[in-house]
Amino acid sequence: MATINFGGVDETVITRDEFPLAQAREVLKDEVIAVIGYGVQGPGQALNLRDNGFNVIVGQRKDSASWEKAKSDGWVEGETLFTIEEAAERGTIIANLLSDAGQIAVWPTLKERLTAGKTLYFSHGFGITFKEHTSIVPPADVDVVLVAPKGSGTSLRRLFLAGGGLNSSFAVYQDATGKAYEKAIALGIGVGSGYLFETDFRKEVFSDLTGERGVLMGALAGIIEAQYQVLRQRGHSPSEAFNETVEELTQSLVPLVGENGMDWMFANCSVTAQRGALDWKGKFREATLPVLNELYDSVASGKEAERTIQRGSTPGYRKELEAELAEIRESELWKTGATVRQLRSK
Ligand SMILES: NC(=O)c1ccc[n+]([C@@H]2O[C@H](COP(=O)([O-])OP(=O)(O)OC[C@H]3O[C@@H](n4cnc5c(N)ncnc54)[C@H](O)[C@@H]3O)[C@@H](O)[C@H]2O)c1
Ligand SMILES: CC(C)(O)[C@@H](O)C(=O)O
Ligand SMILES: [Mg+2]
Ligand SMILES: [Mg+2]
């Protein structure tokens, strides 16, 4: 463990230097990690764990698209790929990577197989924190831990294959064996984390739901739509509106922010741009602060969880979701994006 100063605040974090892969393998050498669910996080975590030398099996609904995907990723039926019931039976660490709404329906199946000394693992504090809505209450004699990669399962796998790691938070909710803490860290290293920072289940879910509804996804998509609309309504072409709103953001400026911070990105743009951005930044902050506070309140009150569960448990919801995504894909903005992406290689 290392104490690192983050902008003036000391935090204890774990990196692969302090907790190398060999140590993680030693901690988990007698464990069978059953990754339940093979959607987005499932493949990323299961494949990274497998390639890192851990004993991993996958549990998935048979004859689903994800079952076929698991087979094409090299998981073998009857050897490393099982039904959810059988994988949970065989696993000593049950990694619950079903969708958050799906976890409710499958919970009785998992609970029955969580015998004393096993570990229940999550990548989100959702099920435990919102137990009034999910009824997920683990038996007292199992360890309950969390490792939440801060990014898509796709990125977790891509970064791993490129020799890097995605930062993750980790938490222990219940330590029945006295070893939950080291197991959580070992799992975090095993799934391919960059550095690990500690949290608790409640803070993880509150921050995660806020982040994805806010700057990371919801606010980003909303502000892009708004600016594109303004430029189009003021007579600019799709190319001009898209390049000034999205293409430059993703291809030029945000990578600069990632490399060296916001001020460095500013410093690498014209003085004209810097003056304007500095003058307008505050207005955007003040305009969005009330919305972000409203969002946090909605998360903290359980309203967001309730809606996620209610929508996610509605039959046919996946189709509705796909229709909403198709509406975005088919909009002028994002159709322009598709054309612009094709032109990148020209
Ligand atoms: N998607 C991400 O990149 C990401 C990132 C960090 C954390 N997480 C967390 O990881 C967990 C898994 O998320 P995900 O996005 O990979 O899930 P997902 O939506 O891709 O679904 C995962 C699997 O759940 C299965 N499933 C859903 N409902 C089911 C049911 N009723 N019965 C049986 N199987 C069912 C699906 O077949 C799928 O294989 C969640 O807790 C999520 O919040 C996800
Ligand atoms: C990848 C995200 C947005 O960070 C994750 O939180 C999710 O729910 O998929
Ligand atoms: Mg999330
Ligand atoms: Mg997240």
Q: Which of 126, 146, 148 is nearest to 136 (CA)?
A: 126
pLDDT at 284: 98
pLDDT at 346: 83
124 is known as an active-site residue: yes
CATH 3.40.50.10470 is the classification of domain 2-199 = no
The answer, yes or no, to whether residue 265 has pLDDT greater than 90, is yes
Residues with Cβ within 8 Å of residue 196, at least 6 apart in sequence: 13, 14, 15, 147, 167, 168, 169, 170, 185, 188, 189
> What strand order describes the sheet that includes 9-14?
2-6, 9-14, 193-198, 166-174, 143-149, 119-122, 93-96, 33-36, 56-59, 81-82
pLDDT bucket at 288, cuts 50 / 70 / 90: very high
Answer with the residue of higher pLDDT: 2 or 160.
Answer: 160
Q: How far apart are the CA of 271 and the centre of ligand 1, in A?
A: 46
Instruction: Give the number of whichever ligand sits closest to the CA of residue 209.
Output: 3
Residue 169 · residue 146 · CB < 8 Å: yes
pLDDT bucket at 63, cuts 50 / 70 / 90: confident
As a whole number, the mean pLDDT across the chain is 97
pLDDT bucket at 227, cuts 50 / 70 / 90: very high
Only one residue has tokens 């990274």, namely 48
Only one residue has tokens 């015998």, namely 115
The residue extents of the domains of the chain are 2-199, 214-343
Which secondary structure element, helix H or strand E, spans residue 180, and what is its range?
A: helix 180-190
pLDDT bucket at 345, cuts 50 / 70 / 90: confident
Show binding-site residues.
208, 212, 244, 248, 270
Q: For the segment 153-201, what is each residue's pLDDT rounded down to a tens digit?
A: 999 999 999 999 999 999 999 999 999 999 999 999 999 999 999 999 9
pLDDT at 1: 82
Q: Which atom of ligand 1 is nearest to the CA of 150?
A: 6
Interface confidence, given as ipTM, is: 0.98
Q: For the segment 304-338, what is each residue's pLDDT rounded down to a tens digit?
A: 999 999 999 999 999 999 999 999 999 999 999 99
Choice from 36, 41, 106, 168 to test ligand 1 binding pocket (greatest atom count within 8 A of CB) = 41
Q: For the segment 96-136, what is each residue's pLDDT rounded down to a tens digit?
A: 999 999 999 999 999 999 999 999 999 999 999 999 999 99
